[in-house]
Amino acid sequence: MRRRAAKRWLAAGGAVLAWGAPAPALAHAFEKRYDLPIPLEMFLAGAGLAVALSFIVMGFFVRSGGRHFDYPRFDLLRLAPFRLLAHRSVRLAARGFSAAAFLLILLAGFLGEQNPMRNIITTAVWIVWWVGMAYVCSLLGDAWSLLNPWGSLFAGAEALHRRLRPGAPLSLNLPLPARVGSWPAAALFLWFAWAEIGWQNNFVPANIAFAAGVYSLITWGGMLLFGREEWLRRGEAFAVVFGLLGRFGVTEARTGPGGRREWNLRPPAVGLLAKEVPHPSAVALVLMVLATVTFDGFTETAQWQGLRTRLFDLFAWLGARTAFQMADAFALCAAPAIFFLVYLLFAWLVRLAGGRVLPAGEVARRFVFSLVPIAIGYHLAHYFSYLFIQGQRLIPLASDPFGWGWNLLGTAGYEVDIGIVEARLVWNLSLAAIVLGHIFAVYLAHVVALGALKDRRLALRSQYPMLVLMVGYTVLSLWIIAQPIVG
């Protein structure tokens, strides 16, 4: 995600905009936006109509929910190149590289040049890792489960401990009650969202390294108490979030019949069709992801500047700096709360339209994964140019990660190519990502309704409120993307 503070350091570092004079912010890496060939209102209406038409198509052609849970798969391990990629030595090398890169980046944050443009940690964390890894997991599958450095380093510590004390586990393996669900991961993600959006000094390398160090201690502490696998499954925020996004991706790793390991190619989004009813913490986490990425985009608009000024007045008695921080924190916490209340309202309407077969709480839990493609679509749209323009800074920083004048890989002199993407391409991709995300969401919600309600006509009728919600969010998200960027 992009942060207002990150925009300041990017702008201060001299990243040039694609057109015109320097702008006050680099939100989409452009100052001048693409001039739409038709009025924005017509684009919004057309996008909403596309989502509505997809609902009609689903109603005609998707007539059974059960069979969609058993989707087609092709095991990529049948092919020699993929068997090589999945070989144990390759996986160990990938984990080792990820862990080493994490430690290097952490050291750079503490010991390197504190100019964020010359220290690898700022670009690596906020641009390449958070934005880029979300792209990879959403499109391809849960790559983070392989590359997670916290899991890899703890696994290495476990292996060493087994050698020193055979038979004695490193973790206490305390039971984590089922009612806890993924609430630890949800709480840690909310903390991360504040650090990413609301923390005023989140562009300072030492601050990022300190926050990463604190998160590492929390993560390894959870693994010591509850076991590595259990904490990765329910407590480590990014393992849970990236795993959720990875369920949309076109590959999955699983254990097949007879215990045989599989690496399957599958249709997109079908991994979000959960036969089990998700835990309430999953509802909170999905809505947090959707709300925070939307709020991050909204903070770049003139409308947010006006609202922020009014919130500032509420906290002005605390002093200017604290008042702005409190205003940001209040708005950041209010965004998921508003999304949660709106979603509960529509879950109640779905219950009414569906003949009151299911309680509203169960409706909210059953349908929450259908919102994940919407979050993915907005994430892809919101950060595309940011990743591909500012992400290029990793090339020179890889040669000089500490900002000490090194040129290890011969790329220290690389200059960012601001013409790699143009505004028209960004707008068209944003439009496609948001609309397609909502169409996938309509499909998932329809299949879940068919599986839960059994009666096709009742299931179709129950989805009218969800259609209204999805069309409304399509229009809202495109409106945010289309707004002029302000500092």
pLDDT digits (tens, 9 = 90+) for 246-291: 999 999 998 887 788 999 999 999 999 977 889 999 999 999 999 9
Confidence tier at 27 by pLDDT (50, 70, 90): very low
What span, in angstroms and rounded, lies between the C-alpha atoms of 359 and 367? Answer: 12
Q: Greater confidence, 300 or 63?
A: 300
Q: Strand, helix or coil at 75?
A: strand
Least confident of 16-20, 243-247, 292-296, 433-437: 16-20
- Assign residue 239 a region: left if phi > 0, alpha if psi is -120 to 50, beta otherwise? alpha
Under the banding of pLDDT at 50, 70 and 90, the label for residue 310 is: confident
Q: pLDDT: is 8 or 321 the higher one? A: 321
**Per-position b or e across 13-30, b if 16+ CB within 10 A of its CB:** bebebbeeeebebbbbbb
In 3D space, the residue among 149, 136, 166 whose CA is nearest the CA of residue 97 turns out to be 149
pLDDT for 41-61, tens place per residue?
887 888 888 888 888 888 777
CA distance 74 to 265: 5
φ, ψ at 254 (rounded to 5°): -155, 170
| Alpha helices by DSSP H, 123-265 | 133-139, 144-147, 149-164, 183-193, 205-226, 228-234, 237-246
Give the range with max mean pLDDT: 4-8, 12-16, 26-30, 318-322: 318-322
Mean pLDDT of 88-116: 96
Confidence of residue 22 (pLDDT cuts 50, 70, 90): very low
Dihedral over alpha carbons 200, 203, 209, 211 (to 10 degrees): 30
pLDDT band at 4 (very low <50, low <70, confident <90, very high): very low
- pLDDT higher than threshold 90 for residue 486: no
Q: 254: which strand partners?
A: 262
State the Cα–Cα distance between residues 341 and 327, nearest whole angstrom.
21
Three-state SS at 264: strand
Closest CA relative to residue 237, chosen from 182, 196, 284, 178? 182
Q: In the predicted model, what is the mean pLDDT of residues 373-378?
A: 93
What residue has token string 């684009």? 43
333 contacts 349 by C-beta, under 8 angstroms: no
Comparing CA positions, the residue from 428, 421, 423 lying closest to residue 485 is 423
Strands of the sheet containing 251-255, edge to edge, are 74-75, 261-265, 251-255
Angstrom distance (rounded) from CA 439 to CA 428: 16
Mean pLDDT on 166-170: 89
**Mutual orientation of helices 88-111 and 205-226 as an angle, nearest 10°?**
130
Position with higher pLDDT, 112 vs 40: 112
Q: What are the structure tokens assigned to 448, written together?
A: 């879940």
Kindly report, residue by residue over 314-356, the tens digit of the pLDDT: 888 877 777 888 888 888 889 999 999 999 999 999 999 988 8
Over 70: is that where the pLDDT of 63 sits?
Answer: no
% of the chain surpassing 90 pLDDT: 57
Report the alpha-carbon distance of residue 202 to residue 209 in Å, rounded.
10
Q: What local confidence, expressed as pLDDT, does residue 67 receive?
A: 59
- Three-state secondary-structure class, residue 263: strand
Confidence class of residue 374 from pLDDT cuts 50, 70 and 90? very high
Task: State the burial class of residue 333 (Cβ atoms within 10 Å of its Cβ: 0-12, 13-18, 19+).
Answer: middle
CA distances from 484 to 23, 27, 83, 328 (A): 11, 10, 48, 20
Q: End-to-end CA distance of the chain, in Å?
A: 16
Range with the poorest average pLDDT among 30-39, 102-111, 417-426: 30-39
Nearest CA to 149 out of 49, 219, 70, 208 is that of 219
pLDDT (tens digit per residue) in 438-452: 999 999 998 899 888
Tell me which of 152 and 384 has the higher pLDDT.
Answer: 152
- What's the Cα-to-Cα distance from 149 to each of 89, 112, 119, 418, rounded to whole Å? 17, 21, 20, 32
pLDDT score of 35: 57
Using the predicted structure, report yes or no on whether residue 36 has a pLDDT greater than 50. yes
What pLDDT shows up at residue 244?
95
Name the DSSP letter for residue 485: P
